[in-house]
Amino acid sequence: MAFLAGKIVLAVEAGAPNNGAGDTTTGRVKKTRIRGRYYPYVSAQAFRRWLRDTMTAAGSVPSPTERVGKAQGKAQKVTTNADPIRYVDDDLFGYMKATAKSTDEATTVRDTPFMVGTFLAVEPAQLTEDFGVMSRNIPEPVLHSHEFYTADLAAPFLFDIPRVGTFTLPGPSGSGRPNYLDEKTALGFAAAAQAGATTQTFRGHTAVRLPLASRRERVAVLVEALAELAGGAKKALHYGDRVPALLAVVPMAGGVNPLGFVIDGAEDGTGLQVRGDVLRKELAAWQGEWEPPVLVGWRPGFRDVLRKRFEADLAEEIAAGQVVIDHPRTVLLALAARVRDGQHDAWFDDPAR
């Protein structure tokens, strides 16, 4: 297997974890209108920021960022150090470092091995506008307000494991640019870091690749960050736990995610649904393309009725060890430990066809 495909549910209770542009003195949450009703969401950019910050809190050194370009409101850019060999987040989350023509440097691009969708509410949510006032020791109070909501938000993700620590080099026609590194620079960085990178062929392109131990560690670091995820806006007023309330992960041979309709919103807009029968049919359709077990992390107390029904529907698969259900933190930390110990080394190369 080469990909980890998954679906994550975040439970937001009276929260405003990701906000859009404000309206005069009112803070607005991010939301989209679907068939005439509002669905709040958390952007993929925000979620990835939470992951980066969680990794940093656990000891990972983040890539330095630099703002370049013209004044606010005009052409402007921000870039990281664009060194995926030295910095784990540059490797896992990708970047684009576009330089000014005057510097005579090539634009460096890396697309992300870790892909995640928008965390969209599984049902319409009634947004609440909270009125506030600042009147402490001032003669004229300052009025303000902001939105918040309660909803379950769900998003898919796909983790391209062989791409971690692997950087293709541009060919004569420019092919390979999505994971581009200049070979001389890449090998120079690796030598400086004593990383022991080697040059080999990867998906039809020449690539610089870090040693397997380094790649194991990087995958484990991201999985552990998912297990202890923290972040979000307005924590002073709307603190909320961001550890996934529910997640499912399945190793796949190709970049297909079979979990999209297993965990989603009901068609009648009545909330979250987790369907064991759909999972069984998806796994049958992709027989030979997935590796058991399907890992399901389900926090105790979250949608207990749904959980009982899901476990009853998949009783045979659970008994056979094809589906494993436990706390999300337990599932993810155990997975990270197995990756770090080398038990899933086959995931780091594309399967033979």
pLDDT digits (tens, 9 = 90+) for 152-185: 999 999 999 999 999 888 777 666 666 777 666 7
User: Coil, strand, or helix at residue 246?
Assistant: strand
The enclosing H or E element of 88 equals: helix 88-93
Q: What is the pLDDT of residues 239-275, one digit of tens each?
A: 889 999 999 999 999 999 999 999 999 888 789 999 9
CA dist 182 → 8, 78, 108, 219, 253 (Å): 36, 21, 8, 24, 29
114 and 222 Cβ atoms separated by less than 8 Å: yes
Q: Quick check: 278 and 262 in contact, CB under 8 A?
A: yes
Q: Count CA within 13 A, CB hemisphere, residue 2.
A: 15
**Closest to 340 measured CA to CA, from 329, 351, 332:** 332
Q: For residues 166-176, b (16+ Cβ closer than 10 Å) or e, as one string?
A: bbbbbeeeeeb
- CA dihedral 129→134→135→138, nearest 10 degrees, is -150
Q: Determine contact, residues 244/326, Cβ cutoff 8 Å.
A: no
CB-count exposure of residue 55 (10 Å: 0-12, 13-18, 19+):
buried
What is the four-CA torsion angle of 51, 53, 55, 61, rounded to 10 degrees? Answer: 140
Asked whether 245 and 226 are in contact (CB, 8 A), the reply is no
pLDDT tens column, 283-307:
999 999 999 999 999 999 999 999 9
Q: Which residues pair with 250 in a beta bridge?
A: 5
Strand partners, 116: 157
pLDDT, tens digit (0-9, with 9 covering 90-100), for 26-81: 889 999 999 899 999 999 999 999 999 999 999 999 998 887 766 555 666 778 88
Q: State the sign of the Cα–Cα–Cα–Cα dihedral 51, 54, 55, 60.
A: positive
Closest to 42 measured CA to CA, from 129, 119, 131, 155:
119
Q: Which residue has the tokens 């664009």?
A: 82
Instruction: Output the pLDDT for position 189.
Output: 67
Q: At what angle do helices 44-57 and 212-227 cross, to 10 degrees?
A: 110
| Degrees to nearest 5, angle at CA 314 with 274 and 244 | 40
Least confident of 130-139, 226-235, 287-296, 341-350: 130-139
